[in-house]
Structure 1
Amino acid sequence: MAAVHESVLDAIGGTPLFRLARLGAGIAAPIYAKAEFLNIGGSVKDRAALSMVLAAERDGLLRPGGTIVEATSGNTGIGLTIAGRQRGYRVIAGVSDRSAAEKSDILRAYGAEVVTAPTNVPQEDPRHLFNLVRRLAEEIPGAWLANQYDNPANPDAHIRTTGPEVWEQTGGRVTHFVAGVGTGGTITGTGSYLKEVSGGAVTVVGADPLSSQYGGGDGSPWYVESIGHFHHPETVEDRWPQAYRSEVVDAFERIPDREALLTARQLAREEGILAGPSSGAAVAAALRVARRLGPDDLVVVLLPDSGRSYLSKVHSDDWMRQWGFLESSDGLRPLIDDAGPLVTVTADATVGAALEALGAAPGGVAPVVLARTAWPYGVSATEVVGSVSREALAAALADGGAKPDDPVGALLGPTLPTVGVGQSPAEARAELGEGHPGVLVLVDGRAVALLDRAQLAG
């Protein structure tokens, strides 16, 4: 008989495990997915949200008529809104401008007030999302900032619920637990419980975007929402979440965006599980781990949220092509293979240094980037801040508008249009239009080549 609850909050937790029989075919170790998208708010964050609200009430931080404020990529805000509205609070969710639009729509549907702010700026920047919500919490009487990144009630939710569920559901047979790392609460809480109850026998593996700093990346942007640790090159003090305890994680599997996104799509098409991109990253990591194991091992991978929040992104063929995650036979791959290395100019370069770099740029045009990264395919498209041309710089030097030692930043042109490697030359020409000297081609969301009009004319 199905359970009967007096409140939707009573339905948080108790999510099932599904064996990934198709994706795990031919692998000796069984892989079971914990379906956290079946929580009432659609994600694992319902657990932490309810835990944080109850703890704040218990500690006198949240009182009747109060306001819950939080910075969120979406899921924690949804959980806080459900819990908060059920218990009579106003909820203000600060959402990253990089989050899927569906998440803001869902937040509003549940009754949250949504404000949007950037996260791709230095942490000290007053425009940063975290600084925005802190100001709101200080200015609004009776407001409480949930602060999921540093709130101990976040990992505690998983010590009390998620970990015990995994142990009970597997009859204590789980040997490896795999999860993404965002705030760190889920992997810290669940992992620490499983380690303790198993006498240290359970191995905890973090699934991390390739460029995330948790697993040793350079901190440059990636396209899988809700996990990883980003580091803006101009950030002065890099603060890591207190909810994350690095000693709980035994190893990381660093997953490229393309592998994560395509695995999320496979989950839907082969396993009947419509999950988000961070679930794709976690399953990709779990598959890697399981291939190294035997039949006596058992892998549990946590699927954080539903793919319904990402229909405009990972589950959209158009979006995947536009950002260079899907390729096609009539795409731009042959043209970029012939284009040569992408020439870039950093935003802090001088006019003289930029002119020297532009000597090797086809058409004398190059994108200006915030910082060059160690990424094997090129610079991050999200770090492109404009463009610069040899013609414009030479003219500025000739008429005295600039000197060779001046910063190039004052002479930036507009950001060049972008197309994905899977798009056709005709689509690239359409983006080029009449006013741009070239288009940037993206592979896995990062600029790898610049194609000018002559290269696209064929």
Structure 2
Amino acid sequence: MKYAKNILETIGNTPLVRLNSVTKEVDALVLAKVETFNPGNSVKDRMALKMIEDAEADGRLKPGGTIIEGTSGNTGMGLALAAIVKGYKCIFVISDKQSKEKMDILRAVGAEVVVCPTNVEPDDPRSYYSVSKRLGEETPNSWYVNQYDNPSNSQAHYEQTGPEIWEQTDGKITHFVVGVGTGGTISGTAKYLKEKNPNIKIWGVDTYGSVFKKYHETGIFDENEIYPYITEGIGEDILPKNVDFSLIDGFTKVTDKDAAIYTRKIAKEEGIFVGNSAGSAIKGLLQLKDEFKPDDVVVVLFHDHGSRYVGKMFNDDWMRDRGFLEEEITTAEDLIKDHIDKPLVTAQTEELVSHAIERMRTFKISQIPVRDASGFVGSVDESVLLRNYLEDKEVAHKSIKEVMGKGYPVVKKSASIEEVSKLINKENQAVLVDLDNGKHHIITKYDIIRAIN
């Protein structure tokens, strides 16, 4: 009988799959190393088990101990699976930008999850680096994994991922393309492959808001490059010890929008349901297409599974809210279709200014059309109210008709974006759209900006 003694024995030996559609403009053979076939559905299973086994061997992790780690989700899953089999507890610290699915999955496998804010400095006591380190110091009989600087991370890929790719390509691989986060996957795999053939090119995929590309090219750690980004699993605002820049031939950066769009393309065009970093890797590969020749064998690594992102990249509303959905927006009606079901917030001429202010606060809006029995007759916005308040502190008790500005222009729902854009200026903050059913909606500068994205 053929069977695994436990789930950990199923880690590794993931398939190499030819890509046929998303890379059709690349003049080379492109093969995806699909790491979702690991039991935890990600490449991180490999290094999670290796780090635990090495910590057991040298006594850092003792029987009945607690494993503590800061994770974007996938390393936590790998650690949790090993912890279940080996009898450890887990506490994982995760940033609030990670998907809800990742947090729920970690809890489902018995881990305690601590959520920290994303938009803080790495050395801020609230950051997930700092919190995980502190928990490691405070928790009795615990082991802080520190995947960023733990050498077992890259060693796992030197021992497993690299040899698998070499054997699966019969030694014909010419390029390896992979997203870079902790650096273990790219560095460990690169070390093995370059020992076999120093001519193999290693390309790292970075994201905007991360420091890797510039540091690799200039040796400068530029804090001005650090800012919040949406893409999960790649990029850093620190330099992990596991990133061996000497093994990497170059980096390319991919935007959040392109990463999200290509994540969906892989699913729809290849039937491979993978996560956000795979979208980054494919877009990065396409950006590098001039580096490849017809006889080249390019291997791109797909890190994790699409099930981690069903509430994000695979959700139309989430994509639309960020301007990531590839939709043709040409008319006034297109500009408001994601909020056309919401009622138009208006004010009456005889209402008090305080009512309009409260309405703005409640609905988080900056401008309100004003109407009377005959129809739309004026408008109020933040700048008008502020100007009036500076002149008269009692303005809140006045009627709206005393402070309102001129009414917003009204356009047909078929009006072009260009027509609408020309009507919005410093004096005129919005445009009303006639929906042909006796109802109207409002277009603001924000709607125009979203359409530009």
Same fold (TM over 0.5): yes
Structure 1 partner of 2:257: 258
**CA 1:134 to 1:191, structure 2 compared with 1: closer, same or farther past 3 Å?**
same
Aligned: 1:169 with 2:176: no
AA paired with 1:222? Y
Aligned: 1:224 with 2:256: no
Query: Take 1:442 and 1:292, find their aligned partners in 2: how far apart are those partners?
Result: 38
Query: Take 1:59 and 1:390, find their aligned partners in 2: how far apart are those partners?
Result: 69
AA paired with 1:210? Y
Aligned: 1:107 with 2:106: yes
Once the two structures are TM-superposed, the CA of residue 448 in structure 1 deviates from its matched residue by: 8.1
Structure 2 partner of 1:242: 241
Once the two structures are TM-superposed, the CA of residue 193 in structure 1 deviates from its matched residue by: 1.1
Taking every aligned residue pair, what percent have the same amino acid on both sides? 44
- What is the 5 A alignment of 1:290-329? 290-326=289-325, 327-329=327-329
**CA 1:398 to 1:154, structure 2 compared with 1: closer, same or farther past 3 Å?**
farther
**CA 1:305 to 1:442, structure 2 compared with 1: closer, same or farther past 3 Å?**
farther
Structure 2 partner of 1:24: 23
**CA 1:165 to 1:426, structure 2 compared with 1: closer, same or farther past 3 Å?**
farther
AA paired with 1:213? V
Once the two structures are TM-superposed, the CA of residue 179 in structure 1 deviates from its matched residue by: 0.3
Q: After the TM superposition, list the runs of 4 or more consecutive aligned residues in structure 1 that deviate by more than 6 angstroms.
A: 331-336, 388-391, 393-399
Structure 2 partner of 1:402: none
AA paired with 1:283? I
With the length of structure 2 as denominator, give the TM-score of the two structures.
Answer: 0.72
AA paired with 1:132? V
Contact 1:323 1:442 in 2 (8 A): no
Query: Take 2:193 and 2:185, find their aligned partners in 1: how far apart are those partners?
Result: 12
Once the two structures are TM-superposed, the CA of residue 245 in structure 1 deviates from its matched residue by: 1.1
**CA 1:426 to 1:390, structure 2 compared with 1: closer, same or farther past 3 Å?**
closer
SS of 2:32's equivalent?
A: strand
**Which whole-Å deviations, capped at 9, do the CAs of 1:249-300 have from their partners, x for residues lacking one?**
1011211222221111111011000111100111112233345422221100
Number of positions where the alignment pairs a residue of Structure 1 with one of Structure 2: 357
**CA 1:123 to 1:331, structure 2 compared with 1: closer, same or farther past 3 Å?**
farther
Contact 2:211 2:226 in 1 (8 A): yes
Structure 2 partner of 1:210: 208
Q: Which has the larger radius of gyration?
A: 2
With the length of structure 1 as denominator, give the TM-score of the two structures.
Answer: 0.71
**Which whole-Å deviations, capped at 9, do the CAs of 1:380-426 have from their partners, x for residues lacking one?**
xxxxxxxx979769978999xxxxxxxxxxxxxxxxxxxxx9xxx99
- What is the 5 A alignment of 1:370-449? 440=446
Contact 1:207 1:252 in 2 (8 A): yes
CA RMSD of superposed structures (Å): 3.1
AA paired with 1:228? G
Unpaired runs of 5+ residues, structure 2, are 215-223, 337-365, 367-381, 394-416, 418-430, 434-442
Contact 2:177 2:299 in 1 (8 A): yes
AA paired with 1:329? I
Once the two structures are TM-superposed, the CA of residue 329 in structure 1 deviates from its matched residue by: 2.3
Contact 1:440 1:448 in 2 (8 A): no
Structure 2 partner of 1:59: 58
**Which whole-Å deviations, capped at 9, do the CAs of 1:77-105 have from their partners, x for residues lacking one?**
11110111210000011111110000011
Contact 1:92 1:115 in 2 (8 A): yes
AA paired with 2:210? S
**CA 1:332 to 1:306, structure 2 compared with 1: closer, same or farther past 3 Å?**
farther
Deviates more, 1:290-299 or 1:73-82: 290-299
Deviates more, 1:201-210 or 1:170-179: 201-210
SS of 1:215's equivalent?
A: helix
Query: Take 1:90 and 1:26, find their aligned partners in 2: how far apart are those partners?
Result: 48
Structure 1 partner of 2:270: 271
Once the two structures are TM-superposed, the CA of residue 334 in structure 1 deviates from its matched residue by: 9.5
Structure 1 partner of 2:356: none
Query: Take 1:333 and 1:220, find their aligned partners in 2: how far apart are those partners?
Result: 34
Query: Take 1:32 and 1:183, find their aligned partners in 2: how far apart are those partners?
Result: 23
Aligned: 1:124 with 2:123: yes
Query: Take 1:49 and 1:176, find their aligned partners in 2: how far apart are those partners?
Result: 26
